[in-house]
Chains A and B, each alone.
Chain A
Amino acid sequence: MVHYRTGALALTAVLMMSTAAMAQDKRIVTYNADFDPAPLAAMEQVIASFEEANPDIDVQLNNFDHEGYKTSIRNFLSADAPDLANWYAGNRMKPFVDAGQFADVSDVWEENGLKESLASALPSMTFDDKQWGVPYTYYQWGIYYNKDAYEAAGVELPGPEGVTWDQFVQSCEKFQAEEIDCVTTGTKALWPGAGIFDYMNLRTNGYEFHMQLTGGEVAWTDDRVKATFAEFAKVQPYITRNHAALDWQDAAALLVQGKAANYVMGNFAVAVFKEGGMTDENLGFMGFPTITEGVPRAEDAPTDTVHVTSGAKNPEDARKFLAYLATAEAQTTINNAMGQLPINKDATVGDDQFLQAGFEMLSTADGGIAQFFDRDAPAEMAKAGMEGFQEFMVKPENVDRILERLEKIRGRVY
């Protein structure tokens, strides 16, 4: 490990020296990121137009793969910090804020009126009344469904208003009679199960309670949590039986093949459904049904962010880049390429029907926007919680034991 690190450092040092020699007259901003190919191309486009407007700045993007990035960010932030780094909003960035590794960028928010234009993401970027980064994209979660499966089971298609919770549970019985999984998911990597729990809890108890629970202020053995699991138990028998052995893509295949009817997922799954052969014609989207009447509708929409590091060698120009990334123009470009939603309210949303539906859904969510269970709850609680949800979806009779275990962990984590 030590070997590898010094080797990599030496290599980057050499590379940086050679590029520095080429662009001596420019001020360099280094940027570590974890983009997939399409968003990477879009970000390079954004960088190119930024450099055009600021010819004296050279932004050098260093791209990682996702999983590698998550493990290496801790190393590079303390050993050899870039000026800019990708990360996530909410509690997920708190360890870095607490350790003083992300810089306070409240000035960027003030000077550019971002509290106005990026208002929807302001709460999730704020700790101690300061902002610690700039969000550039998010995407909705909801229920994606296969219309062919609905037809095969003789279930009426959901209208534009979606369905009621009772209708949804009843339709599950019909799907079961046709041997179609009413709800599918693949919890091998744990997180897809958390999406279902988030919505169960948001719809049963609302946003405030969900935030208190993920923030460790409410006991897991609270009656309201038990109420959430009581609702969860209504659909549990209709969830794909072997979900614990499936990746989320495997479950997506079940939906595509019509072996499953509904999938609680993030919008990024649309690309996978379409690769599998689904079209705008037979793929449907709806918000998660209301469970408790009168609870303001809240949604899950994980937000991706860019931060200035505390070890930045060129924080001024890095801030300039952040300000540019927050503009409507930059957010339109990158989100059209990513197939996701811009945060800036003046940006244009792509004309894809799922994006439009998501934009409509998120901009009218009067309850609030949650980040997703593993970003709202601290890491250790998130891991234990997601294991608990997985166990519940296999063995619902263990619910009390699971909740007691989570409560014990809550006592330790917060």
Chain B
Amino acid sequence: MANTVWKANQRSLAPWLFLAPGLIMFIVYVIIPIFQSMWISFYDWDGLGEKTWLGLANYAELLDDDAFYTSLKNNVIWLVLYMLALPAGLLIAIFLNQSIRGMRLYKSLFFFPFVISQVVVGLMFSWFYAPDFGLFYNLIESLTGQGIAILADDRFVTYGIIVAGLWPQIAYVMILYLTGLNNVAPDQVEAARLDGAKGWKMLWYVVLPQLRPATFIAVVVTVIGALRSFDLVSVMTDGGPYGSSRVLSFYMYEQALSEYGYRMGYGAAIAVVLFAIMMIFISGFIWKMWRDERGR
């Protein structure tokens, strides 16, 4: 009996059976926690004692929280400036896309910052910026007579961290474009050249359109990289000075899990806001992929 049911539905059941392990993991570790976070965001909870129902009070508090707006503003700055990784990565990729002796070595050197851990990148840049002995600090001091401690100055600190973040991010985008450039059809380039295209026109009308898949992936990883910027902030400044370099992900951690935090509900509310922002981008990407797949 069971055998016949299996035989009759084998074709429709088999894919689900193969998907099951992945689906179960995804549901348990991704989907359910998303809803749990939303649920917790309606409570006041210190992670130990009783939960108290607050309704939307956590969100109301967010609207009146300067630190939240600072984080949000910094997140926007991160998003905008992180996009610089695209042109910079493309430029380096085009520059490196030549056949010269030893080119592999140069490529791997340029790729190097992406290989090392973000924590190490953060440490290197904090020493670079450090007052009294930092290279950058001394450089500014010898030029202007007055050193600037980037990480102690609320005007510059976020930009200082973004520069540190861009370094590996550019390397990442570069490698994406390098593989993309391998697939640019040489006959089209040749044909364009015969028609007299060169320089910017060649890049804009012939090469870039062929790099569209690489650009798409590069945009996706850069947006997500900017929104989840946490490690660099944590390593370089801990959100300081006086909270001026916080981003949403760091503020969430601070409120929910850090030494002085343990406001799980409030942290969860920040997480939900961050998730909503990410959702805008993610649904945009998914929509585009879906459209492309149908188009073909």
Contacts and interface: CB of A to CB of B under 8 A. Distances in A.
B222 to A, nearest CB: 27
B242 A390 contact: yes
Contacts of A382: 260
Contacts of B243: 387
B260 A188 contact: no
Interface in A384-409: 387-388, 390-391, 394, 405
Given A99-B48, A245-B149, A379 B261 contact: yes
SS of B interface (majority): loop
A70 B259 contact: yes
A112 interface: no
Contact of A394 (B150, B152, B257, B260): B152
B87 interface: no
B49 A98 contact: yes
A230 interface: no
A356 interface: no
A104 B21 CA distance: 48
A78 interface: yes
A5 B276 CA distance: 29
A101 interface: yes
A245 B152 contact: yes
B225 interface: no
Interface string B88-111: 000000000000000000000000
Contacts of B152: 242-246, 394
Contacts of A405: 66
A242 B146 CA distance: 12
Nearest to A386: B260
Contacts of A387: 240, 242-243
Q: Which residue, of A78, A374, A387, A390, has the highest number of chain B Cβ atoms within 10 A?
A: A387
A411 to B, nearest CB: 11
B83 interface: no
Interface in A241-255: 241-246
A14 interface: no
Interface string B228-256: 00000000011011110000000000100
B180 interface: no
B209 interface: no
A293 B241 CA distance: 34
Contact of B47 (A74, A190, A380): A74
A95 B240 CA distance: 26
Interface in A82-135: 95-96, 98-99, 101
Interface of A: 67, 70-71, 74, 77-78, 95-96, 98-99, 101, 187-190, 241-246, 374, 379-380, 382-383, 387-388, 390-391, 394, 405, 412
Q: Which 8 A-B pairs have the closest CB atoms?
A: A245-B152, A383-B260, A244-B241, A244-B152, A242-B149, A242-B131, A391-B242, A379-B260
Given A74-B48, A390-B241, A412-B61, 6 more contacts: A242-B132, A379-B260, A379-B262, A380-B260, A382-B260, A383-B261
Interface of B: 46-49, 61, 66, 129-132, 149-152, 154, 237-238, 240-243, 254, 257, 259-263
29 contacts: A71-B259, A74-B47, A74-B262, A77-B48, A78-B48, A95-B262, A99-B48, A187-B241, A188-B237, A242-B131, A242-B152, A243-B152, A244-B151, A244-B241, A245-B129, A245-B130, A245-B131, A245-B152, A246-B131, A246-B152, A379-B260, A380-B261, A380-B263, A383-B260, A387-B242, A387-B243, A390-B241, A394-B152, A405-B66
